[in-house]
Amino acid sequence: MDMILLWSLLLLISGSQPSRSLAQKNTEFAVDLYQAICSSHKNNIIFSPFGTTLVLGMVQLGAKGKAQQQIRQTLKLQETSPGEEFSVLKSFFSAISEKKQEFTFNLANALYLQEGFAVKEQYLHSNKDFFQSAIKLVDFQDARACAETISTWVESKTDGKIKDMFSDEEFGPLTRLVLVNAIYFKGDWKQKFRKEDTQLMSFTKKDGSAIIIPMMKALLRTKYGYFSEFSINYQVLELPYKGDEFSLIIILPAEGVNIEEVENLITAHQILEWFSEMHEEEVEISIPRFKVEQKLDFKEALYSLNVTELFSSGCDLSGITDSSEVYVSNVMQKVFFEINEDGSEAAASTGMHIPVIMSLTRQQFIANHPFLFIMKNNPTESILFMGRVTNPDTEKMNGRDLDSL
């Protein structure tokens, strides 16, 4: 598979050898944010919880008082000196750069500040040190030029996959500070799906209606688990990427189980339990070939998690600049996510052909109805993004169209 993941906010990784408690704290925030987003989005969802973590981390480096306290409580950070818990980012970036032959991971962070405001040297240094972030001065009064400048920068850093990140309507006379972060990730499946095995199949959407979509098929030996909580049954499958640095986890409710029932069960403890309790099995897999593109405004979700002060004109960001006029206007994230069959290894050595009549003796994982997904960094167990698919998008599919199947 070739997965392209792009988001306009970066992810915070917990370190190369995390304690279980640290992985759990990071996962707790990811689950909290997922539940907050679910409350206002009923269909497809995709976001980077650690993209949000990074943005909040960048702000809290320069925040004081109530604003800093709210961020630290929501991120469940330890009572250490500000910035200390982000020092592990350095080792992560170093490890990523050493393994770039196995996947593509491009990072770009920038803080756009209204011209005329002076950024403190210590903040400049800390931001670059922890987040590899650049500081750029712009004139938000010229909203159109700002939108074009920032959007062009994001597009260039994401190989053209994220276009038109901002419009001029998103900047106004009071805009002073905009945090922009971009990641481009492209990875191949460790075990690829053969394109000739992809077939058209029916997918039952959340509303009960059915659509015909391309369904990728493979017989793989991979980590799998069958779970039952409060009479709610579901399957969990892990699909590793080449290099084993990242994995995609798919959570599939049993037939007749609503996706909301499984979502309501999700806790940090439960997710970490999946990771530890899944075991290798030979599984006949059918999953949609799909693409999801989504832009989210996190202001409402963060408000529900009690991160409110940084959006207030009384916010104390004196660690960034001496001006009392600087506060965050919004927190935007845009994600482009595509799943298809592509992989860089030879088909003969990485996957087995699926017969027309599937075996009844092996485990079957047929994602022909709404499911949840998580992408994690395996060394740290950090969740890079979460989401759900209630309606695979076939209209914007890259590559072969439905007529070619």
Return the residue matching tokens 């990811």. 30
Q: Whole-angstrom Cα distance, residue 322 to residue 113?
A: 13
The per-residue pLDDT for range 238-293, each reduced to its tens digit, is 999 888 888 999 999 999 999 999 999 999 999 989 999 999 999 999 999 877 77
How many C-beta atoms lie closer than 10 Å to residue 110's C-beta?
A: 20
Which helix (H) or strand (E) segment holds residue 222: the answer is strand 210-229
pLDDT, tens digit, 9 for 90 and up, residues 298-350: 889 999 999 999 988 889 999 999 888 888 887 888 877 777 776 433 333 33
pLDDT at position 354 is 43
Give the number of C-alpha atoms closer than 13 A to the C-alpha of residue 342, restricted to the C-beta side.
13
pLDDT in tens, 207-217: 889 999 999 99
User: Which residues, other chains included, contact 82 with Cβ-Cβ below 8 Å and sequence gap of 6+?
Assistant: 60, 61, 68
Mean pLDDT of 153-178: 86
Q: Pick the residue with more confidence: 32 or 124?
A: 32
Name the pLDDT band for 163 (thresholds 50, 70, 90).
Answer: confident
**pTM greater than 0.75 (yes/no):** yes
Q: Structural domains in the chain?
A: 2-187+292-337 (3.30.497.10), 189-288+345-392 (2.30.39.10)
Q: Which one has a higher pLDDT value, 135 or 308? A: 308
User: What stretches of 9-132 adopt beta strand conformation (E)?
Assistant: 45-47, 104-114
Least confident of 13-22, 85-94, 111-120, 203-212: 13-22
Residue type, 131: F
pLDDT computed for residue 129 by the predictor:
79
Closest CA to 194 of 214, 218, 213: 218
Average pLDDT, the chain: 80
pLDDT of residue 93 exceeding 60, the answer is yes
Residues written for the chain: 405
CB 204 within 8 A of CB 28: no
Residue 6 banded pLDDT, cuts 50, 70, 90 = very low
105 CB contacts (<8 Å, ≥6 apart)? 96, 183, 184, 185
Higher pLDDT, 96 or 146: 146
pLDDT bin (cut points 50, 70, 90) of residue 87 is low
Q: How far apart are CA 252 and CA 255, in angstroms?
A: 9
